[in-house]
Structure 1
Amino acid sequence: MLLLENCIPHTFAVTFALFLVLLYAELANGQNVNPDPSLITCDSNVGKFYTLNESLDCDFENGIAINTNNTVINLNNSSILGSGYLNPYTGILISNKENVTLKGNGIVGHFQIGVYINNSKNVDISVVNFTGNEISIYVANSSEILIDNNQFYTNTAGIKFYTIGDSVISNNAFDSNDISSISLFGSHDNIINNNIISSSLNGIFVDTKSTNTTLNSNHFTRSFGVDINIGNGGKFDEINNLISNNTCSISIPETLCR
């Protein structure tokens, strides 16, 4: 059986994409805090309260970057679409920011990274559809992230957390995210609950360096891999992790499904 650590290494392309979006963040600082919504195009910087009035088709370029704290972005049933996940671009960048909300029943799709959150705090993503991305939401070195009531379908990976604390992933639907739906690496004090997960090689993956993780009341269907995978069978501290009431078929270790 293929396991996560063998199937989802960071490729050079993903690393290069992260370099590009961090450079993009540096260029965004201090620019055009409240742009005219009618002038927003791909590679734009937005802040404060912004409603997308039409869809953006970002052909071989990034989508938008958030450049102020205390920002609310409403997709307003519109889409931000890229040129395919093999190209090193990001749909929405949130770097070194606090108090950001992304909502609005729109679509973020066909990027290498749909939403990239880095070194940020109190970010809320809700009622957004993610499709056709290599990684739909990539979060690093951040805290108080809420990802609630979204849909993730036909991505390579749904959500990936690296060194994240005090965050919640809840009430989301995942379908056909090939390698993984939710992955946690080196993270602590996080809650993953009430998600519906279908057709992933790894439904939920938590590495052995993550602590105080709560996995509760997640429901898995149409499994073709491992529903809950804790460190590919490595040493796991059950005392410092709470795993209960998950409806699943296959887990590592074997005792986690009911």
Structure 2
Amino acid sequence: MYNSSRVWSPPPPSYRTVPNEEAGLSDEHTPLKPRAVCGKRLATLKVLAFIVVVALAFHLVSDYTDTERRRRREDAVARREDAVRAKEDAILADEERRERAELAWWDLTMEKRCLGYEKRIYHAELLNVPASEDAHGWCMKTSIDIHGITYDHPELCTSELIDGAIKTIGHWTVRSNEPTCKTWWGGHQKKDCFGAHKRRVEAKLFNHQEPWDNWAEMCFSTPSEFAWQKFDHPDTCENKGRDGIVGSWFIEVDESECP
């Protein structure tokens, strides 16, 4: 049996500031640090999610742009191929029509006037061009033989009114086998000195066809050979009337000849 006379003593004082601390219960305003950490983690997750969304959107836009660019490039290539094919078909059809028309040059005529040394203009009429076709275009695609040389096309095509009808005329510049346009120099003579170590040489132009040929054109286009040298043309030309056309060259000479 216990002794009922034992003296009662109060429990020691408690210094706890939070009620039921041992049970893990706390006031809702107390744990500030854990809530701040949780907020930072949530913000980080939001930033990462935003970056992922932006990257995905950029990838989708880039894929769409590449696909669209590829499609436009393929369309452009297809259009160019179609245009080339259409042009080739048109050229082939035009050639077939020209062959069926049996085009021919008629009345090849040389002009009296020479343009220069061994140079003369010829012209002829193109026959059998249908009225519905491009006469000028067909003219510029039709070849001709002149003096045994084939010219693929005229230098110029014109439409001219002849005998009350419009004619298609082709023009060519012929630079060979033109004996009446082949002038030459003769009677070379040394003249006075012209400056240091230079002397003037004079010669007369032969086979000049007056009155049609232009004397200056023929003079300045006629080559010459003398003093073991070749010259494409004289340095000066002079029309001396009855004495003819005279050309002059200024050639290098020894110091003893022209100091």
Shared fold (TM-score, shorter chain, > 0.5): no
Q: Which has the higher helix share?
A: 2
Q: Which has the higher strand share?
A: 1
Larger Rg: 2
Q: So what's the TM-score if we normalise by structure 1?
A: 0.19
Q: So what's the TM-score if we normalise by structure 2?
A: 0.19
Larger RCO (CA under 8 A, 6+ residues apart): 2
